[in-house]
């Protein structure tokens, strides 16, 4: 029995969920998402949707909890949206929005241009703070990880791009000879 899968997904006001077999379409004030699921069934009654496994195999049980979580993320995304905040640390490291891309100065000999994916919004609040927001949690997280990978934080001085809630464990430098 899946502890996650057996929980019902509540549908807030102004959000519409259409279930057509394995295909689910969720429409809300921020946009519309759709996805085709495998191994699960959906039962919609009123303002809740219950997810159940199609079979009793180990794979069906794993897909049950996953399907419920993905549906809940779709409903939350079109209702309130998701965002990730990244911080840029280092002397001369900064970012700026240039049209449909973000230009990063990260200590390389050239600026790094990062194109903004369709359906996302990237804001540079200060020159050292980047906020990625959108309705698709998977796309927001993947884009934030790709931006972080441009210059991951290093453990000696802490220079690089990190998530705002990430803690970088610092290492001591070389010890001087006696």
Identify the pLDDT of residue 140.
93
**Tens digit of each residue's pLDDT (9 = 90 or more) over 71-126:** 999 999 999 999 999 999 888 889 999 888 999 998 889 989 999 999 899 999 88
Domains of the chain: 9-79 (3.90.930.12), 82-163 (3.90.930.12)
pTM of the model: 0.84
| Nearest of 1, 4, 30, 2 to residue 16 by alpha carbon | 30
**Tens digit of each residue's pLDDT (9 = 90 or more) over 122-142:** 999 888 899 999 999 999 999
Contacts 24+ apart (CB under 8 A), 111-120: 112/150, 114/146, 114/147, 114/150, 117/143, 119/31
Tokens of 89: 């640390």
Burial 141-161 (b: 16+ CB within 10 A, else e): eebbeebbebbebeeeeebbb
Contact 111, 103 (CB under 8 A): yes
C-alpha–C-alpha distance, residues 110 and 105, integer Å: 7
| Nearest of 111, 118, 116, 113 to residue 100 by alpha carbon | 116
């Amino acid at each position: 029995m899946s502890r996650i899968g057996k929980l019902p997904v509540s549908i807030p006001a102004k959000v519409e969920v259409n279930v057509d077999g394995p295909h689910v379409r969720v429409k809300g004030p921020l946009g519309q998402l759709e996805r085709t699921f495998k191994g699960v069934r959906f039962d919609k009654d009123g303002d809740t949707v219950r997810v159940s496994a199609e079979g009793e195999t180990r794979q069906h049980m794993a897909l049950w909890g996953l399907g419920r979580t993905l549906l809940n993320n779709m409903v939350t995304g079109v209702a309130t949206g998701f965002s990730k905040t990244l911080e840029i640390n280092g002397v001369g490291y900064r970012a700026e929005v240039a049209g449909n891309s973000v230009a990063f100065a990260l200590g390389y000999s050239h600026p790094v241009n990062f194109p903004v994916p369709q359906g996302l919004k990237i804001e540079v609040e200060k020159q050292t703070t980047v906020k990625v927001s959108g309705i698709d949690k998977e796309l927001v997280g993947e884009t934030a990880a790709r931006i972080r990978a441009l210059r991951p934080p290093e453990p000696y001085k802490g220079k690089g791009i990190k998530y705002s809630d990430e803690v970088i464990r610092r290492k001591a430098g070389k010890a001087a000879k006696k």
